[in-house]
């Protein structure tokens, strides 16, 4: 069993497509164990977009991503399932929406390019974040959720795939 963090960014809430995206995860059998609507403080967004991002993509990109994440309400979700990090990443699609394959969340609901975002001097509004590894997921879940906010349960639909 593996857990992952998914963030529905402000552009998802602006467009009113929260339910459509959550439904996609439910349809593949992901178990929802944490869910909350919140307005991210800059400090929290800074913990999420770590210095590691700045090392990989530059401090300016990190600052733009923090600004984007704090520009409106977000939905933080913890999913659990078999190889859930990889499954969620595959469902989300590539980081640049215009390059994301049809059938992925970004491919079906967004079309923004890095070039467009760079030209506007803004972060890429690409709808959603999904943890990149199990280690990253664990750290990110700890940024957004307290342990007591995660609900351990066994939905009937998981009895065939998620038996302990």
Catalytic residue among 48, 116, 129, 153: 129
| pLDDT tens per residue across span 134-159 | 999 999 999 999 999 999 988 877 66
In the chain, the domains with their CATH numbers are: 2-153 (3.30.70.141)
Q: Indicate if 129 belongs to the active site.
A: yes
What are the residues whose beta carbons fall under 8 Å from the beta carbon of 73, sequence distance 6 or more?
A: 10, 13, 37, 38, 39
The residue among 51 and 99 whose pLDDT is bigger is 99
Q: What is the pLDDT of residue 75?
A: 98
Residue 156 DSSP one-character state: G
Residue 145 DSSP one-character state: -
3-state secondary structure of 43: helix
CA 73 – CA 45 distance, rounded (Å): 12
CA 27 – CA 44 distance, rounded (Å): 30
Mean pLDDT of the chain: 92
User: pTM for the complete prediction?
Assistant: 0.91
> Is residue 162 pLDDT above 60, yes or no?
no
Q: What is the pLDDT of residue 77?
A: 98
């Amino acid at each position: 069993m593996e857990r992952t963090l998914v963030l529905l960014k402000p552009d998802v809430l602006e467009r009113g497509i929260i339910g459509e995206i959550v439904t996609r995860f439910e349809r593949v059998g992901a178990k929802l164990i944490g869910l909350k609507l919140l307005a991210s403080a800059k400090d929290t967004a800074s913990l999420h977009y770590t210095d590691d991002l700045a090392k990989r993509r530059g401090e300016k990109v990190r600052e733009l991503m923090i600004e984007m994440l704090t520009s409106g309400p977000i939905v933080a979700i913890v999913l659990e399932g078999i190889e859930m990090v990889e499954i969620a990443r595959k469902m989300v699609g590539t980081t640049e929406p215009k390059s994301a394959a049809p059938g992925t969340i970004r491919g079906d609901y967004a079309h923004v390019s890095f070039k467009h975002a760079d030209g506007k001097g803004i972060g890429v509004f690409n709808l959603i974040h999904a943890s990149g590894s199990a280690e990253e997921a664990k750290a990110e879940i700890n940024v957004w959720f307290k342990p007591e906010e995660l609900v351990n349960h066994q939905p009937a639909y998981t009895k065939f795939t998620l038996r302990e």
